[in-house]
Amino acid sequence: MPALILHVTGARPNFPKAAPVIAALRDHSVEQLLVHTGQHYDERMSEVFFRQLEIPEPDVNLGVGSGSHGAQTAAIMAGLEPLFAERRPDVVVVYGDVNSTVAAALVAAKMGIPVAHVEAGLRSFDMTMPEEINRLVTDRLSDVLLTTSVDAVAHLAREGVAPGSIHFVGNPMIDTLLRHRDKFDAAAARRDLGLEGDYLVATLHRPGNVDRPEDVAELVEAVHRVADQAQLVIPLHPRGRARLESAGFLDHPAIRVVEPLGYVEFLGLVRGSLAVITDSGGVQEETTVLGVPCLTLRPNTERPVTITDGTNRLVGRDTLPDAVAQVLATGPLQDWPVPPLWDGASGPRIARILAAASGVDR
């Protein structure tokens, strides 16, 4: 019987990471089972990625939906445990740092099933972020740690992870970007949204920006000062949307809030923009490869390689308007570095390691 590799996905950023791994594993003699926890469920947060990225329909959807951290994580664990018991996968693969990631790692580790973590070792060193807790716990429980950057390898080594368990494989999210890059059509994005002239793009969803009323008030003020300088398109994540709207976010003629976009449409919009303002993890990486200046509205990043070897820069709500002025004055980047191994071949590297870990292709 071929070995069984079970992937657990659930939230928007998981899908572009899992797509190239699932595709590359087809070249190995393993069986694959794809689980969607249902953490994200809106068509625009989930299904559109399966369609555009040609990810197979999930074999199982746990349909857990939204909830508090405890309730959501527990519901995912309760859904996965009987499934793992029935299917007994040889490896469980988890992606990134969302609640679905840590829930799956906890269940698998307690059942003695090896865990492989794609995007291991990233650290913001900010324990107020739920993702940092998820990263630390997931890495501690993982047997195969697949990293996107050299700093991640160093973090894991410092935390005592055995060198043989750490694999620097590059960034599978960038495999997805490079594979679909030709479809990122800036002119179509403009047309679809009726945009004329230059524009900036923003995405905002971190609790540190959109959950507390004081932060939201500061954010609205900062974003309005940006919109004084250039038109701003914001495909807004459902988290915090109501809070931002009631704080007057939309009350500026140069701000255009739209629903979350499909992957291809979003990156088409980004490709044609002057710069991106974001608190997303993945968007910091994608702008780095596309050569679009990125202003990350956070006090820290778990992806410093996008600053040292990319187009990213950290800004505060107080410094954002001046940073935008600088970016606009500088104009488009002519050349920029790209981090090592962000080369479109991470999926096959990961697949080889997973196939070996599952007991085949040794």
Site for ligand UD1 in 4-23 (CB under 6 A): 11-13
Residue 99 binding: pick among ligand UDP, ligand UD1, none (C-beta 5-8 Å cut-off by kind): ligand UD1
272, two tokens: 């044609």
Cβ-based nearer residue to ligand UDP, 215 or 286: 286
Paired with 30 in beta bridges are 3
Residue among 167, 205, 224, 237 flagged as catalytic:
205
Counting contacts by CB under 6 A, is residue 98 touching ligand UD1?
A: yes
Q: φ and ψ at 276, to 5 degrees? A: -120, 140
Question: From the list ligand UD1, ligand UDP, none, which binds 16 (C-beta under 5 to 8 Å, kind-based)?
Answer: ligand UDP
Least Å distance, CB 281 to ligand UD1, is 6
Residue 39 interacting entry, from ligand UD1, ligand UDP, none, C-beta within 5 to 8 Å by type: ligand UD1
267 binds, among ligand UD1, ligand UDP, none (CB under 5 to 8 A by kind): ligand UDP
Q: Which residues between 40 and 79 bind ligand UD1 (CB under 6 A)? A: 40-42, 45, 66, 72
Q: Is 40 an active-site residue?
A: no
In whole angstroms, the minimum distance from the beta carbon of 303 to ligand UDP comes to: 9
Long-range contacts of 39-45 (CB under 8 A, 24+ apart): 39/10, 39/11, 39/64, 39/65, 39/66, 39/72, 39/76, 39/98, 39/99, 39/100, 40/10, 40/11, 40/12, 41/65, 42/238, 42/260, 44/259, 44/260, 44/261, 44/262, 45/11, 45/12, 45/238, 45/260
* Binding interface with ligand UDP (CB under 6 A): 12-13, 16, 203, 235, 260-261, 263, 266-267, 280-283, 286
Q: In b/e form, how buried is each residue of 305-321, taking b as 16+ CB within 10 angstroms?
A: bbbebbbbbbbebeebb
Could you tell me how many residues make up the chain? 362
* Site residue total, ligand UD1 (CB under 6 A): 19
| Stretch 246-305 residues interacting with ligand UD1 (CB under 6 A) | none
Minimum separation from the CB atom of position 192 to ligand UDP (A): 13
Residues paired with 38 in a beta bridge? none
**Could you give the CA distance from residue 314 to residue 151 in angstroms, rounded to a whole number?**
18
Residue 37 in the binding site for ligand UD1 (CB under 6 A): no
Which chain residues interact with ligand UD1 by CB under 6 A?
Answer: 11-13, 39-42, 45, 66, 72, 97-99, 130-131, 205, 237-239
Question: What residues are labeled active site?
Answer: 205
